């Protein structure tokens, strides 16, 4: 594995640890980008990487994104992320989860973990057996916490409606054509919410049966994964893995808006400028997809204080996402700057790196 400080995505991270536990077979990376506003908070991704360098790139990029996401969401949390490297069979054992919990605990509260791709609430429960610094745990009805996916979807839904109003001048989603890439907890949740508003949905997923089932449920259309980005639509909503907005991907887009929950959608920062030049309105991913971290962060903060956390407070904060996006878009247009550059500048100020 290459030295992390030679990676293009190295951004003066405060701490990067490679964890290997021989007994359990765990190999993981924990990256802390900034703790300026509080403990670095961000989920753990369980994934098989053909090239270990890909795991390092994910840890560096995702932790930086969490610094920006938490800052822009007004949370007293810094940015961190972890990656657990699975074998090609996706093997994940209780012993690995326990060893990972020990690694989190050893950081003495500087990192707070939660669910991400490949992780479940049950995984967090197992990790919580070895550390207090975990969120996304089961909660009582009416309390914040639990699976962050539906809350991420809620924020993206609000953000897409704001984008449609801003770019298309429409105050209703009825008849608006939305192509949703990824039909899991987040993408599926977004599609269901939009379908209730009368949007016309095109859905795609690496699991074609899941996409077909969702399309049938919501009265939409399922398409293959290799064509969804080029589908003619009003809104393209990426809700799977990141780095899809590269030279080729942006050239294929046939939409007015890109707004979705995938992390690190831009392969490189300059791809935001490409969207801007094409006149495509872009919702910076770490702003629009903050609903999940808002939910689990409030869960964690309340639990640390020994207080209950009302789910209505989570909904109230998620409802503020459109206003943040609107501020970014207004500045972007006034200064003729890509929206990702505007958002990054705002976030850098908030974490003391402006």
- What pLDDT is stored for residue 252 in this prediction? 96
Active-site annotation, residues: 81
- Neighbour tally for 51: CB within 10 Å: 9
Whole-model pTM: value is: 0.90
pLDDT digits (tens, 9 = 90+) for 54-74: 999 999 999 999 999 999 999
Element (H, E) at 248: helix 247-252
What is the distance in angstroms between the CA of the first residue and the CA of the last residue of the chain? 31
DSSP annotation of 50: S
Say what percent of the chain tops pLDDT 90.
Answer: 84
3 state DSSP class of 170 = coil
Residue with tokens 């009416």: 142
List, as one string, the DSSP characters of 258-311: E----TT-BSSTHHHHHHHHHT-EE--HHHHTTHHHHHHHHHHHHHHHT---BH
Element (H, E) at 218: helix 208-218
Rg (CA), the chain: 19
pLDDT digits (tens, 9 = 90+) for 120-177: 989 999 999 999 999 988 876 666 677 888 999 999 999 999 999 999 999 999 999 9
- What pLDDT is stored for residue 146 in this prediction? 75
Backbone angles phi, psi at 92, to 5 degrees: -140, 115
- What pLDDT is stored for residue 3 in this prediction? 61
List, as one string, the DSSP characters of 93-104: -HHHHHHHHHHH
Q: What angle do CA 294, 295, 300 make, to 5 degrees?
A: 95
pLDDT at 6 over 90: no
Give the whole-angstrom CA distance, residue 76 versus residue 254: 38
- What pLDDT is stored for residue 137 in this prediction? 87
All domains of the chain in start order, with CATH:
4-66+79-128 (3.40.50.10860), 149-288+322-350 (3.40.50.720)
pLDDT at 4 over 80: no
CB 205 within 8 A of CB 262: no
Q: Where are the beta strands (DSSP E) in the chain?
A: 15-21, 26-34, 40-41, 44-48, 78-86, 111-112, 177-181, 200-204, 221-222, 235-238, 257-258, 281-282
């Amino acid at each position: 594995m290459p030295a992390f400080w030679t990676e293009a995505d190295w951004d003066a991270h405060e701490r990067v640890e490679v964890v290997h536990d021989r007994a359990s077979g765990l190999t993981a990376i924990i990256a802390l980008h900034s703790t300026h506003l509080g403990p670095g908070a961000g989920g753990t991704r369980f994934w098989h990487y053909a090239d270990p360098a890909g795991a390092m790139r994910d840890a560096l990029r995702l932790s930086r994104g969490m610094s920006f996401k938490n800052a822009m969401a007004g949370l007293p949390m810094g940015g961190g992320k972890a990656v657990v490297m699975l074998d090609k069979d996706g093997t994940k054992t209780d012993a690995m989860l326990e060893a990972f919990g020990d690694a989190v605990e050893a950081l003495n509260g500087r990192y707070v973990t939660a669910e991400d791709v490949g992780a479940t609430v049950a995984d967090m429960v197992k990790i919580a057996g070895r550390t207090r610094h975990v969120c996304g745990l089961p909660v009582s009805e009416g309390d914040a916490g639990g699976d962050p996916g539906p809350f991420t979807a809620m924020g993206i839904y609000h953000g897409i409606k704001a984008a449609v109003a801003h770019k298309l001048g429409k105050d209703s989603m009825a008849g608006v054509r939305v192509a949703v890439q990824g039909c899991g907890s987040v993408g599926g949740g977004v599609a269901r919410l939009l379908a209730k508003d009368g949007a016309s949905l095109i859905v795609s997923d690496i699991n074609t049966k899941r996409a077909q089932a969702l399309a049938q449920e919501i009265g939409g259309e399922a398409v293959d994964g290799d064509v969804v980005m080029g589908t003619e639509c009003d809104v393209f909503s990426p809700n799977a893995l990141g780095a899809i907005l590269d030279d080729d991907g942006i050239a294929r887009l046939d939409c007015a808006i890109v707004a979705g929950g995938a992390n690190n959608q831009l392969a490189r920062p300059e791809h935001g400028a490409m969207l801007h030049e094409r006149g495509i309105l872009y919702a910076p991913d770490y702003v629009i997809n903050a609903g999940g971290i808002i939910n689990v962060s409030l869960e964690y903060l309340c639990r640390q204080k020994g207080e209950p956390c009302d789910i209505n407070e989570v909904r109230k904060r998620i409802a503020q996402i459109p206003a943040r996006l609107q501020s970014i878009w207004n500045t972007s247009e006034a200064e003729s700057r890509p929206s990702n550059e505007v958002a990054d500048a705002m976030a850098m100020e908030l974490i003391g790196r402006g």
